[in-house]
Amino acid sequence: MSTTEQALKERIKELTCLYEVSSIIGNTDENLIEDTLTAVAFSLKKAFQYSEDTEIAISTSGFLISTCNVVENAESIQSEISIFNENKGQFTAYLKPSNALEKVFLKEEQLLLDNVAIKIGSLLERIEIQKNEASLKRQMERADRLGILGEITAGIAHEINTPLANILGFAELLKSDLEERKESIADIDKIIQNAIFSREVVKKLMFFACEMPQEKKRINIVPNIKNAINLLDATFRKAQVKYIVKIEEEEMWLRADPIQLTQIIFNLLMNAIYFSPKEGLVTVEVTTTKKDIILNILDEGKGFEIDDLEKIFQPFFTTKPTGDGSGLGLSVVHGIVASHKGRIVAQNNKNKGAIFTITLPKD
Ligand SMILES: Nc1ncnc2c1ncn2[C@@H]1O[C@H](COP(=O)(O)OP(=O)(O)O)[C@@H](O)[C@H]1O
Ligand SMILES: [Mg+2]
């Protein structure tokens, strides 16, 4: 074969490969990236001059794919896979050594490898963008749902608040009129207790719906947090749960309502204690970035069922047995965090337990 003919054949192989790679990429299922990479590796292998003796390995995004296991003493060329301008893996072509003739990679082969690596890089970029968009969309939908729930809740809470105040007021009046009649007084006390309980529920609902008057001022969050934890010291001891507080600096300033901040920590810690096993450890971590204060609360309990994660911030969602929980704590926390323009995220810890992360802007 003449060298021109040979060169032409190589060029055709190369173009065929590029065409194949493009159509493999075009048909990519974002959940089956591994299949795409494998197909690309085999397509590339065919394009090499000594394709029988060439093996391709791709390593990126937690995948390690190769057309053959190990190639020892092989000559190799590499191309970097970059995603958003960061090196995120590479393509390697190995050429098995042979005694017969001096085999080397062609310059064109390096170019081909570079070319395909660029294509895969932009495919992975596209997938990452899609994933981010999908998760952003889910977050928005959830925020929307919680927003609507907030409005409904605020309406209900308002409506109930006035009659409740009336029930309480009239019951107190009646009680003072009935000083002599012991039984009637006991009944009225029940009315009063129930009305007070309902008023607490309404108050929490108003918190969730950010309907409570707020008094924001510049405060140092550190004593606030320490205070809330001290208040719960006895509860920790009673439940035989341990805790550790990790605070980066003694002063971390932000604009917030101090009572509401205490309420956030209180609610999260009460849950953490409730779900902690005996001798379990609850960790409270506070760190700062330039713009935010970040509060992490971790426990060693059972964590969340994946399906529940969507619902835990909704009012009245609870997995606790009746009497143990009203399902309002986290909705209150969510309301407060939102009214401070912050974010709250719940997730399972890798090992065990739940993690709540609250990000509050400093101003
Ligand atoms: N630290 C935690 N570990 C596991 N599950 C939790 C934790 N905190 C909250 N949850 C889940 O979120 C639900 C709602 O919590 P919350 O709104 O505080 O209401 P309640 O405490 O009354 O159940 C809980 O019932 C539980 O299922
Ligand atoms: Mg709770």
- Token duo for residue 19: 């065409």
Domain ranges of the chain: 3-135, 141-208, 217-361
pLDDT at residue 290, as a whole number: 92
Question: Which protein residues are within 6 Å of ligand 1, measured from CB?
Answer: 267, 271-272, 275, 299, 301, 303-304, 308, 312, 317-320, 325-331, 354
123 to each of 20, 28, 95, 283, 299, how far by Cα in Å? 15, 9, 27, 40, 39
**pLDDT value for 86:** 92
Tell me the CATH architecture of domain 3-135: 2-Layer Sandwich (3.30)
CA distance 233 to 241: 10
pLDDT tens, the chain, 363 aa long: 678 888 888 889 889 999 999 999 998 888 889 999 999 999 999 999 888 889 999 999 788 899 987 667 788 999 999 999 999 999 999 998 876 667 889 899 999 999 999 999 999 999 999 888 888 888 777 777 777 777 777 777 877 888 888 888 888 888 888 877 888 888 888 888 888 888 888 887 777 777 777 889 999 999 999 988 988 899 999 999 999 999 989 999 999 998 889 889 989 999 999 999 999 999 999 999 999 999 999 999 999 999 999 899 988 899 998 778 888 899 989 989 998 999 999 999 998 999 999 999 998
pLDDT attached to residue 115? 94
3 state DSSP class of 67: coil
Pocket residue to mutate for ligand 1, from 330, 352, 355, most atoms within 8 A of Cβ: 330
The closest of 346, 333, 347, 359 to 221, measured between CA atoms, is 359
- Closest ligand relative to 273 C-alpha: 1
Superfamily of chain region 217-361: Histidine kinase-like ATPase, C-terminal domain (3.30.565.10)
